[in-house]
Amino acid sequence: MGKLHGKIAVITGGSSGIGLATAKAFVDEGAYVFIAGRRQEELAKAAAEIGREVTTVRADVAELPDLDRLWDVVREKKGAVDVIVANAGFVEFALPADVTPEHFERTFNTNARGTFFTVQKGLPLLRDGGSIVLIGSSGHVLGVPIYTTYLATKAAIRSFTRSWAADLKDRKIRVNSLSPGPVDTPIFEAQAGSKQAADTLRAAMADRVPLGRLGRSEEIATTAVFLASDDSSFITGHDLLADGGQTAI
């Protein structure tokens, strides 16, 4: 029997990268998953890759009506949820002098506001004793050039984790954040704009990791399974850093 046998999970940003790997790992551990993402074509590919026990919902977490639709689908199909993984995120680097209001708003609306309302709107369906996993970044405890706005949103997620752990303790709902270091996902291409530039960025990021490499989405997914399951039953309010030692050494 899997660690998440019979559980129902919602994973935002679930059509690629860490979100998709987490959805696969959850299903392998016995869960039924709802994955949300902005692109229908990518969601269809993800569902085919997962293969079973999955429902897809096209939703942009920055849009509150989309979040309402996501939770309406969950309510209609399953009636309740045991695990929320708020993973959807947006990253675009910029020097402080180059940050525009549009860049700032898009970053905060997706990463901070989107995370907040994903959880707020899901709480009525989250069973007592459930688990919330917020995907942050190890960079929130570092000073990383050109990622000021992105990492500020991840610091907000760390704060949500502590506050919600206190808010929800009477319901025995555990809230933890999972903060990866640099992980090899398609987000590098999205940031860099070309394969060559993305590979250069990958190499630069890997140089900063004591283990000498980027993380793999599957490694973050197994950590998410730990936080979602009873294996972490005495852990709440915690920020688990999965960063190859980047913030410790």
pLDDT of residue 42: 96
Q: Which residue numbers are catalytic?
A: 150
pLDDT of residue 192: 62
Mean pLDDT of 100-104: 97
Phi/psi zone of residue 208: left (φ > 0), alpha (ψ -120 to 50 degrees), beta? alpha
pLDDT of residue 127: 98
CB 85 within 8 A of CB 10: yes
Closest CA to 42 of 185, 182, 153, 154: 185
The per-residue pLDDT for range 104-148, each reduced to its tens digit, is: 999 999 999 999 999 999 999 999 999 999 999 999 998 888 899
Backbone φ and ψ for 127, nearest 5 degrees, come out as: -70, 150
* Percent of the chain whose predicted confidence (pLDDT) is above 70: 98
pLDDT of residue 50: 98
pTM of the entire structure? 0.95
Domain 8-180+215-242 carries which CATH code? 3.40.50.720
CB 230 within 8 A of CB 149: no
Per-domain boundaries in the chain: 8-180+215-242
pLDDT band (50, 70, 90) for residue 244: very high
Q: Mean pLDDT, the chain, as a whole number?
A: 95
pLDDT band (50, 70, 90) for residue 201: confident
Query: Burial letters for 76-88: b for 16+ Cβ neighbours within 10 Å, e otherwise?
Result: eeeeebbbbbbbb
CB 19 within 8 A of CB 13: yes
